[in-house]
A and B are shown apart, each in its own frame.
Chain A
Amino acid sequence: MTLAEFTPLLPDLLLLALALAVLKIDLWSEDGEAGFHLTWIGLAGLALLLAFGSRSDAVFADYHITAASRVWKLLFTLATLATVFLSRPYFRAGGNARGTLAKSGAFFGLLLLCMQGMFALVSAGNLIVFYLGLELATMPIYALAAYQPRDADSAEAGSKYVLMGGFSSALTLFGISFLYGATGSLGFPALEAAVRAAPADPALWGGIFFLLGGLGFKLAMAPLHMWAPDVYQGAPTPVMAFLSVASKAAAVAALATLFLSPLNAVRPDLAPCFAAAAVLSMVAGNLGAMRQKDLRRFVAYSSVAQVGYMLLAMLGEGDGSRAALVYNLVTYGVTGFALYFIMGVIGKEGPETMSGLRGLSRRHPGLAVLLVLCMFSLAGVPPLAGFLGKFMLFSAAAAEGHYLLVGIAVANAVVSFYYYMLVVKEAYIAPPGEAAAIRLRPLQIMVLWGLGLALLVLGVCPAPADWLARAAGN
């Protein structure tokens, strides 16, 4: 094997090197600055490499580098990069009212290793790599969720995530063993052939449902979503952001990897299952979010509802679905991170709750406008990014004739509007306390502008995300 043949694998190898380097450099650096800079520069480079680097597909044993996997990896990289930026003030003394995080090197190292797991997940060519990727993408978060020192909530988040994770991991393994028993193979091509040959095999179906259970946990899909509010609330905000965007994207990618290719033959029969899970998630998420006062819990429920919408895509036809999913994750990520950065800003002085937003329109009008944009986008108001995302999902389901389901989804979108408006109300209408004006750091200003513009631009001119979605579709 020549060195040139490894070029398509370069991003994955680079990520590995980066993770190890960050862990190593942390041992030398006193204040963790070096680790931070190395991480973001490395991730930015990785994103560029994935976007503009080698375009050729390759297979290394059962590790597949394809255009679709590159798009997913780019998505993970960008989400992690945003998480790294978001976490910046949390490691500084006085950066967050909840307390300062320590040892940024381990934090970033764990993030990068988690990303490595996600990379493996989307490149998996057999069920073992798939499972290990899933596990590697989950395990670091056990530690990260409990990262807030001397904080009972954070400890609770960590232990709950461990317990639920262990449970779902067992489900996944059980499902995989059923699949293996039914088809006699672990590799995806053989699996696909076996599924096509005997799509009604009960052992296969048992495997699929256990696997869905395992993935459903990672996705926070109802009825496996109940950990989400507790874990999101307890975990440090950057970890919550990572959970709700990157980890969710990984789960969606896993779902797409598995159900849009090797198990594609049974997907039409799974439509009622996806439909039921979608409706449950939408309803549970929307009802749960309605009365939350804690922003992190609010985000958790709202993300459960978003998963419900995304599951609609699983009912559509292959390429369109994948495109809709990628587009949605991009817009959801942009919107989510804009919101999390705002949470980070208000978290400097007070708790990251609804009442913390009070008077935001006086304290920092620009931030309040961005918050309104986020909420409108999440609610799906054009011309913001969220509208197009929802539209693509709904039309993917409608194109296959699931009108009733689209109706339920749309009704849910209306309900969600209510609580998104509550957030806006806090920022604009609720009487402010005597909180001081907000001063942003240059990094925050830069990122917030970028996200705000992306929110508008993606809605009005969806070309970049559309390009991504198309690449993933092929």
Chain B
Amino acid sequence: MPVSPVVEITFALSALVILLSSLAVVLVKNPVRATLLLIVAFIPTSLVYILLQAAFVGILQILVYAGAIMMLFTFVIMMINPSPKDGESPAGGSEGGEGGFSGMRGALIGLLVVGALGALLLPKVYHAASQVSVAPVTKPGFGELSSISALLFEDPANNPLTVSFELISFLILVGIIAALNFSRRKGAEARMENSITTRPTEALPILQREALEPK
């Protein structure tokens, strides 16, 4: 069944916007701007959901993520109020310093790696995707709120999603406990950011040891 060109074009545009704005989120230095760019990324995402006949998920995407979660992010950023010093990105590593992969250089290397891998993988993925038959769902009421609620809450004893529902609540519980646990800590956070990028290679201590030890 052929897909209409309007859908094709909308999808391609949305995908492009998602890709660009996501990249910008990572590359931009000002955290407030990064948050706003994230919202920019969410809107076309919801568009893609709608194209996939999942209108409800699309609306939720905007309501919950763009609306609520992004607000929380903004609050947090304002509370911490990070003021980037000269030549230092808010992510922690110093620009062009000795940290190895940091700043622009890191972004470039990352882009190269991801680009190379993508170039390698894409033909495969495309090939795989082209084999899947694409057909619009014709089930009545698909993607509508009423059918979703029926899917989630109908016959709770035998509903395959009941267990999943409960498990998600545990996940949230774990998130809360972990967050509480970290929020009471002082002092470790600054190191936590730095330590990922400052560990030397494992070969270093071996080299040092060998320099010290007599043959």
Q: Which residues of A contact B (CB under 8 A)?
A: 1, 23, 60-63, 103, 106, 109-110, 113-114, 116-117, 120, 125-126, 128-129, 132-133, 135-136, 139-140, 142-143, 146-147, 149-156, 158-160, 163, 178, 181-182, 186-187, 201-203, 205-206, 229-230, 288, 291, 293
If A117-B170, A129-B167, A182-B132 touch, whether A156 touches B192 (CB-CB below 8 Å) is: yes
Partner of A106 from the list B163, B175, B177 (CB cut-off 8 Å) is: B177
**Nearest Cβ distance between residue B42 and chain A, in whole angstroms?**
17
The minimal Cβ–Cβ distance linking B47 to chain A, given in whole angstroms, is: 19
Which residue of the partner chain B has the closest CB to A154? B188
- Taking a contact as CB atoms under 8 Å apart, the answer to whether A150 and B124 are in contact is no
Cβ of B158 within 8 Å of any chain A Cβ, yes or no, is yes
B192 contacts which chain A residues (CB < 8 A)?
146, 152, 155-156, 158-159
Q: Interface 1/0s, chain B 155-195, versus A by CB < 8 A?
A: 00111111110011011011101101110011111011101
Confirm or deny: B3 has a beta carbon within 8 angstroms of a beta carbon on chain A.
no
Say yes or no: is B120 at the interface (Cβ < 8 Å to chain A).
no
Q: Does B141 contact A (CB under 8 A)?
A: no
CB of B188 within 8 A of CB of A110, answer no
A143-B177 contact in complex given A136-B170, A150-B188, C-beta closer than 8 Å: yes
Taking a contact as CB atoms under 8 Å apart, the answer to whether B185 and A120 are in contact is no
- Indicate if the CB atoms of A140 and B160 lie closer than 8 Å: no
Interface segment among B16-24, B29-37, B80-88, B199-207: the answer is B199-207
Known: A62-B160, A151-B188, A156-B192. A132 touches B177 (CB 8 A): no
Q: Knowing A63-B163, A120-B167, A136-B170, say if A293 contacts B195 (CB, 8 Å).
A: no
Q: A143-B181, A150-B187 are in contact. Are A205 and B162 (CB under 8 A)?
A: no
Pick from B171, B177, B188, B193: contact of A109, CB under 8 Å: B177
| Residue in A61, A116, A293 whose CB lies within 8 Å of B157 | A61
Contacts known (A61-B162, A142-B178, A156-B195); A132 close to B167, Cβ less than 8 A = yes
What residues of chain A lie closer than 8 Å to B128, measured between beta carbons?
178, 202-203, 205-206
Query: Which of B159, B177, B178, B206 touches A61 (beta carbons < 8 Å)?
Result: B159
Closest beta carbon of chain B to A472's beta carbon, Å? 22
17 CB contacts below 8 A, A to B, read: A60-B163, A61-B160, A63-B163, A103-B181, A106-B180, A110-B178, A132-B164, A139-B178, A140-B174, A140-B177, A149-B188, A150-B187, A152-B188, A159-B192, A178-B128, A187-B160, A293-B209
Q: Does B215 contact A (CB under 8 A)?
A: no
Q: Does B196 contact A (CB under 8 A)?
A: yes
Interface majority SS (helix, strand, loop, mixed), chain B: helix
A203, B132: Cβ atoms under 8 Å?
yes
When the two chains form their complex, are residues B163 and A163 in contact, meaning their CB atoms are under 8 A apart?
Answer: no
A433 to B23, CA, bound (A): 55
Question: A128–B164 contact, CB under 8 A?
Answer: yes
Given contacts A110-B178, A128-B164, A153-B195, 10 further A-B contacts (CB under 8 A): A61-B158, A61-B160, A132-B167, A132-B171, A136-B167, A159-B196, A178-B128, A202-B131, A203-B129, A203-B131
Q: Which of A126, A133, A156 has the most CB of B within 10 A?
A: A156
CB-CB < 8 A to B139: which residues of A?
none
Give the distance in Å from the alpha carbon of A61 to the alpha carbon of B183 in the complex: 38
Residues of B within 8 A of A151 (CB): 188
Q: A61-B157, A139-B175, A146-B182 are in contact. Are A129 and B132 (CB under 8 A)?
A: no
- Contact mask B27-54 → A, CB, 8 Å, 1/0? 0000000000000000000000000000
Nearest to A153 among chain B residues (CB) is B195
User: Quick check: A113 and B174 within 8 Å, CB to CB?
Assistant: yes
By beta carbon, the residue of chain B nearest A63 is B163
Chain B residues whose C-beta falls within 8 Å of the C-beta of A159 in the assembled complex: 192-193, 195-196
- Interface residue? B71 (CB, 8 A): no
Closest 10 pairs between A and B when the two form their complex, measured CB to CB:
A143-B178, A156-B195, A155-B192, A132-B167, A152-B191, A62-B160, A202-B128, A206-B128, A128-B164, A155-B188
Q: Which positions in B face A, CB cutoff 8 Å? A: 124-125, 127-129, 131-132, 157-164, 167-168, 170-171, 173-175, 177-178, 180-182, 185-189, 191-193, 195-196, 199, 202, 205-206, 209
Q: How far is the CA of A234 from the CA of B191 in the complex (A)?
A: 13
Complex contacts, A139 vs chain B, CB 8 Å: 171, 174-175, 178
Bound Cα distance A74, B178 (Å):
26
CA separation between A117 and B160, bound complex, in Å?
Answer: 17
- A144 nearest in chain B by CB position: B178
How distant is the Cα of A146 from the Cα of B202 in the complex, in angstroms?
21
Nearest B residue (CB) for A181: B132
Nearest to A126 among chain B residues (CB) is B160
Provide the residues of chain A in CB contact with B191, threshold 8 Å.
152, 155-156
What is the chain B residue whose CB lies nearest that of A291? B206
Shortest CB distance B126–A (Å): 10
Chain B residues, Cβ within 8 Å of A143: 174, 177-178, 181-182
Partner of B199, one of A136, A140, A186, A230: A230
Q: How far is the CB of A34 from chain B (nearest CB, A)?
A: 18
Do residues B129 and A23 form an inter-chain contact, with CB atoms below 8 A? Answer: no
Residues of B within 8 A of A113 (CB): 170, 173-174, 177
> Which residues does chain A contribute within 8 Å of B129, judged by CB atoms?
203
Report the separation of the CA atoms of residues A182 and B193 in the bound assembly, to the nearest whole angstrom: 40
| Residues on B with beta carbons closer than 8 Å to the beta carbon of A163 | 196
Inter-chain contacts of B158 with A (CB < 8 A): 61
Q: How far is the CA of A117 from the CA of B163 in the complex (A)?
A: 11
Task: Point out the residues of chain B lying under 8 angstroms from A156, CB to CB.
Answer: 191-192, 195-196, 199
Q: Contacts of A187 on B, CB cut-off 8 Å?
A: 160
Determine how close the nearest CB of chain A comes to the CB of B159; give it in whole angstroms: 6
Q: Write out the residue numbers on chain A whose beta carbons fall within 8 Å of the beta carbon of B178.
A: 110, 139-140, 142-143
Residues of A within 8 A of B157 (CB): 1, 60-61
Assembly CA distance A23 to B180 (angstroms): 13
CB distance from B130 to the nearest CB of A (A): 9
Residues of A within 8 A of B180 (CB): 106
Bound CA span A140–B178, Å: 7
In the complex, are the beta carbons of B181 and A106 less than 8 A apart? Answer: yes
Asked if residues A155 and B164 are in contact (CB atoms below 8 Å), the reply is no
Which residue on B lies nearest to A59, using beta carbons? B158
Please indicate the chain A residues that have their CB under 8 angstroms from the CB of B127 in the complex.
202
CB-CB under 8 A from B188, the residues of chain A are 146, 149-152, 154-155
CA of A61 to CA of B162, assembled, Å: 8
